[in-house]
Structure 1
Amino acid sequence: MYGSYHRRQRRKPMGEINVVPFIDVMLVLLVIFMITAPMLNQGVNVELPQVTSEPIDTDEREPLIVSVDREGQYYISLGDEETPVALDKLGEQVTAMLSRRPDTPVMVRGDRNVSYGQVVTLMSTLQGAGVGNVGLISEPPSSEQ
């Protein structure tokens, strides 16, 4: 009774993946990123929040503090002595200090009126001197504001 009308054909499993939906998704993502990428490069005026932060536990090791004052002068202090240093010599001195004590934490203290570019240049110099992690020193917000 199972004649040609009731015969079922078995489908072979398809070994190919339909990539057309993936291509559609990728094109949509490409368009989204092309639209949003120029917006990421533009600067926005923001006021940074003042927050209280917990002090860093330095494990009783004296940190190496590199400072930038209002005039853009650089200083290195390890302990109580603070010595002025030129930016081109700063990397050599930091490398020498870290070669003697490689586990010394490095902190940056910058004046609030110094330009952002000088702090970035300082951090780049420290990175070139082999400093992996740099801490930023700040003060808690005053209660007057």
Structure 2
Amino acid sequence: MAFGSFDSKGSGHAMSEINMVPLIDVMLVLLVIFIITAPMLSHSIKINVPQVSAEPVEQEPVIIDLAVDDIGQIFWNDQPLSLEALTERFKLESVKDPQPQLRIRADVNTRYETLAEVMGSARAGGMKRMGFVTKPAEPAPEPASN
């Protein structure tokens, strides 16, 4: 706020000073309130927490390697298996804890229908962790520069 004087001798411009005393008083009151209430907010309860001395058990994930060749023959960890027996085998493996990882490798010329039947059989058998193994493409040869 600007206050001026009532005498006629004044220069006519307003005084532009802020009275800081009330602001300092408010800040000191807030500081005292925070000093008093802060210890009350940080109360704690003493309890004895059990100490763990054993290290966690690391389990190696079991991997099922399922290969499908170009004529549709299925191999379970390099052992031939028929498509009919595949669902029952998946049901036996899916109840294990932890559930094994299923990695499907297929030949380039394998029919999509065969792969769809294998994946449907895995889903029907309860397998949840399924992935495909692929071979990265070989880089194209660089053109010869003259």
TM-score by length of 1: 0.52
Superposition pairs of residues 64-79 of structure 1, within 5 angstroms: 64-77=64-77
Structure 2 stretches lacking a partner, 5+ long: 1-58, 142-146
1-side partners of 2:74 and 2:123: how far apart? 16
Structure of larger gyration radius: 2
In the alignment, what sits opposite 1:142? 138
2-side partners of 1:97 and 1:134: how far apart? 13
> Are residues 1:122 and 2:118 paired?
yes
The one-letter amino acid of 1:88's match is E
The one-letter amino acid of 1:127's match is R
Report runs of 4+ in structure 1 exceeding 6 Å deviation: none
Contact 2:69 2:107 in 1 (8 A): yes
Deviation string for 1:89-142 (max 9, x for gaps)? 011112213334442111111111011111111100111000123101101111
The one-letter amino acid of 1:62's match is V
Contact 2:100 2:129 in 1 (8 A): no
2-side partners of 1:72 and 1:132: how far apart? 23
In the alignment, what sits opposite 2:107? 111
Bigger relative contact order, structure 1 or 2 (CA pairs below 8 A, ≥6 apart): 1
2-side partners of 1:73 and 1:144: how far apart? 31
Contact 2:93 2:99 in 1 (8 A): no
Deviation string for 1:29-76 (max 9, x for gaps)? xxxxxxxxxxxxxxxxxxxxxxxxxxxxxx842311211101110111
Percent identity between the aligned chains?
22
Structure 1 stretches lacking a partner, 5+ long: 1-58
What count of residue pairs does the alignment treat as equivalent?
83
Change (3 A) 1:136 1:74: same
The one-letter amino acid of 1:125's match is S
TM-score by length of 2: 0.51
> Are residues 1:132 and 2:128 paired?
yes
More moved, 113-122 vs 97-106: 97-106
